[in-house]
Amino acid sequence: MLAKDIGICLARRDYLETSQIATIFTREHGKIRGIAKGARRAKSKFGGAIELLSLGQLLFSPGRGQGLVTLAEWTAQENYLGLRRDLGQLYRAYYLAELMDLFTEEMDPHEQLHDFFDRALTDLADGRGWAEFLGFQVQLLKQVGLSPELWSCVLCAKESQGRKVVFISFSEGGILCRACAQQTSEKQRISPAGLEIVRKLTTPAPKDQANQPQVQAISDPPQDDPARQAQELLSYWVRAALNREPKTAKLLR
């Protein structure tokens, strides 16, 4: 029995002479890794090679549980063409794709996450700025259950505001007041302005805004501004959660 779905290609590599192995985040089946036999032949049922960061319809034979599946068909529908015209946006999209791959398990469906990712790529392709890029990372962490506690010290529960918050610790689960930070070895200093942005993105948006995170006044390109500092906070969190740096993180610098 073949399964039909739509999905976004997160990674792919050539396999043998004419085939490909593609990692695709599907809407109903979650992440799959599929072999597309003969996809790189001039005339194939895949209509050409499967491109990184493209959304398509696919048919595949699901195996039992995790592991390589066989792709029977792929029809590209959306290539987020705008990404190919702006290297900065393309690099941000590569980074998000790598995070999607690293933070999800095969055959573990996350429909909402698929849709958030589609929208993030659409926004990046349309040239929109850092609010969407940061907002997607916040959503991803939330969907996989790894959101940091950002409102009060995770150790003493003291509410922290403005300039008083200076540290965050992945091993403790969120922000630390200055006193608790002194007793915690695994921690990172963060900027209050960057924290403020990540807090705004984490707070559920009003219904009429359909989950669209709203952040005002983020300039592009950000240098030493709050958006850059917010990215540093999220990058630290991601690095600590994975226990290593994603390969594409260097593209953001």
Residues that bind Zn ion in the complex, under the rule CB under 5 A: 153, 155-156, 177, 180
Q: How far apart are CA 127 and CA 106, in angstroms?
A: 31
Q: How far apart are CA 177 and CA 157, in angstroms?
A: 9
Q: How far apart are CA 93 and CA 134, in angstroms?
A: 11
Instruction: State which residue, 13 or 189, has the beta carbon closest to Zn ion.
Output: 189
CB of 7 to Zn ion, least distance (A): 43
CB of 172 to Zn ion, least distance (A): 10
CB of 200 to Zn ion, least distance (A): 23
The answer to whether residues 7 and 24 touch, using CB atoms and an 8 Å cutoff, is yes
Whose structure tokens read 């959660």?
241
**DSSP category for residue 198:** H
Residue 206: is it exposed, middle or buried by C-beta count within 10 angstroms (0-12/13-18/19+)?
Answer: exposed
Instruction: State which residue, 16 or 156, has the beta carbon closest to Zn ion.
Output: 156
CB of 170 to Zn ion, least distance (A): 16
Instruction: State which residue, 180 or 234, has the beta carbon closest to Zn ion.
Output: 180
Instruction: State which residue, 46 or 170, has the beta carbon closest to Zn ion.
Output: 170
CB of 178 to Zn ion, least distance (A): 8
For the chain, the helix, strand and coil percentages under 3-state DSSP, each to the nearest 5: 40, 25, 40
**DSSP category for residue 238:** H
Instruction: State which residue, 176 or 233, has the beta carbon closest to Zn ion.
Output: 176
